[in-house]
Structure 1
Amino acid sequence: MADRRRGHHPVTDGGHRQPEAPDKPIPVIRDREMSKILGGCTGRGFLASRDRAIIRLLADTGVRRSQIAGLDVDDVDLAYDFIRVTGKGGHVRTVPFGAKTGKGRLSPVALGHMLTRRGAAVGIEGLHTHQFRHTFAHTFRKLGGNDSDLKRLGGWKSDAMLERYGRSAADERAREAHRRLAIGDRY
């Protein structure tokens, strides 16, 4: 029987430790909520610009909090719109971002506080960085991205991680796919 203590990770067949899936799926951030969060970062001041850039980067890439906080100026390539992040195990990868996404840097703790504050200011309590990772995976799949690309962009080695990050809104995507395919309407 697996040890269920906090922080214990079972070993998979490949010898890599995989985190156990949480009992309760992490909710994704809905489009209207994302608009409210970004709308709460209005203004031309440094804090508003920095926070808006970081929130866009989280939403656009799905990278981890520590990866955002660990970015150096040299890790951001604005000419080709990508960031270079170091994942678990020291694996370096490049992650693309969209044209509206900017740059910013905070400590992991300060980043968490900023998101909690920005979420609360627009009526979204308990907003945290990992929701952006789950939201990125959900939105990528919802818009037709394939699992192989998502796995690579997310820095995941196992299909179990795809399942974990897709679980919270999988039923919604399945219903939308069913409506889009309209199988019964073919007959």
Structure 2
Amino acid sequence: MTGTCAEWHEEYRLALKHTERIGEETKESYYKEVGRFIRWWGPEKDIETADKTAVLRYVTYNRDERNLTAATRRMRLFCLLDFYRYVCKEEDSGVTGNPIDGIEFPVPKQQPPEIIPDDDLVALLDTAAGSSFVARRDTAIIRMLVDTGTRRKELCGVDLVDVDRGHQQVKVLGKGGLFRLIPYGAKTALALQKYLRARGQRQIGSEPALFVATRPNPRGSFRLSGSGVYEMIKRRAERAGLPDTWPHKVRHTWAHDLLANGASEQDLERLGGWAPGSMMVKWYGSSAADERARDRHRALARGDRL
């Protein structure tokens, strides 16, 4: 026996922990999705039994019984592909060929990114009105997300020293360990100023994090977590009557707006922390081009000339 699926899943987690080729959020996604497959197949089964036949059965299960979208099924296969690359590389696994090789990946239908209208963003901000610490903090977070397009975990990784209030820009550590500077506007600067005044009244010691929680975590840090930001946005969105709003949708909106207002795809890659030639950026570019075309058509008002 060369090890159970559960044992290899745990070893994969440890291997992911030390790799720098992908970001933390991607690592979590890979580990979680591989876990779905292993729980479905059987954690106690030997890894050699999780062969191509098993994977194909899982593909069919996700498509025909779970009715998952092509995008979700494609993502799950990519996660398994990475897992099996690791397993195959280990000579004592007994797995000599990647079971994912030769399997056709689903191609999702291209849908435009979901954008949050300005009125909805105003409604979201309205739920954080007030002068309490939490209200000041949440307002600053929402405005920073809207203004900079940062990923929530990137924003939570920002320290006080990373904020250049004089030039109204913030230094963010993105995927691949790359830093980038992103400017923010006057209203965000004001919200940040009010939040920092409230933060200064908290008993948090020498905590370096820009955004802090009301209570320390088990390690004694007050740094707000990415999941904390997600839960805050979802809670406030539901209060505003916007159940389909989440932090990454704010990033979609930021990227779309940037391109729709004349920025180049290269500008977006640099500010958003995407690799050159990113398919995600091209997706945003296509959506923004569609909107510009509609705006020009409205401005032409061809039928109104008759």
- TM interval, shorter chain, is 0.7 to 0.9
What corresponds to 1:61 in structure 2? 148
> Normalising to structure 1: TM-score of the pair?
0.80
Query: Deviations for 1:102-157, whole angstroms, at most 9, x for unmatched residues?
Result: 44522101000000011011100032111011100111122222322222111222
What corresponds to 1:14 in structure 2? none
What corresponds to 1:71 in structure 2? 158
Contact 1:83 1:95 in 2 (8 A): yes
What corresponds to 2:245 in structure 1? 127
* Gaps in structure 2 of 5+ consecutive residues: 1-72, 83-105, 193-209, 212-223
Cα distance in 1 for residues equivalent to 2:151 and 2:108: 17
Cα distance in 2 for residues equivalent to 1:31 and 1:73: 29
Cα distance in 2 for residues equivalent to 1:144 and 1:112: 30
Contact 2:162 2:171 in 1 (8 A): yes
Cα distance in 2 for residues equivalent to 1:166 and 1:37: 26
Whether 1:175 aligns to 2:294 is yes
> Normalising to structure 2: TM-score of the pair?
0.51
Q: 1:162 aligns with which of 267, 276, 281?
A: 281
Contact 2:124 2:237 in 1 (8 A): yes
Cα distance in 2 for residues equivalent to 1:5 and 1:65: 21
What corresponds to 1:6 in structure 2? 76
Whether 1:99 aligns to 2:186 is yes
Whether 1:143 aligns to 2:261 is yes
Higher helix share: 2
Name the CA shift for 1:5/1:140 in 2 (closer, same or farther; >3 Å).
closer
Whether 1:112 aligns to 2:230 is yes
Cα distance in 2 for residues equivalent to 1:173 and 1:22: 24
The residue type paired with residue 6 of structure 1 is R
Whether 1:51 aligns to 2:138 is yes
Task: Count how many residue pairs are aligned between Structure 1 and Structure 2.
Answer: 174
Cα distance in 2 for residues equivalent to 1:96 and 1:7: 37
The residue type paired with residue 160 of structure 1 is M
Q: Superposition RMSD on alpha carbons, in Å?
A: 2.9
Shift of 1:44: 0.8
Cα distance in 2 for residues equivalent to 1:48 and 1:7: 41
Question: Larger C-alpha radius of gyration, 1 or 2?
Answer: 2
Contact 1:28 1:168 in 2 (8 A): no
Cα distance in 2 for residues equivalent to 1:140 and 1:33: 18
Cα distance in 1 for residues equivalent to 2:273 and 2:240: 31
The share of aligned pairs that are identical, in percent, is 41
Whether 1:35 aligns to 2:122 is yes
What corresponds to 1:85 in structure 2? 172
Name the CA shift for 1:6/1:127 in 2 (closer, same or farther; >3 Å).
same
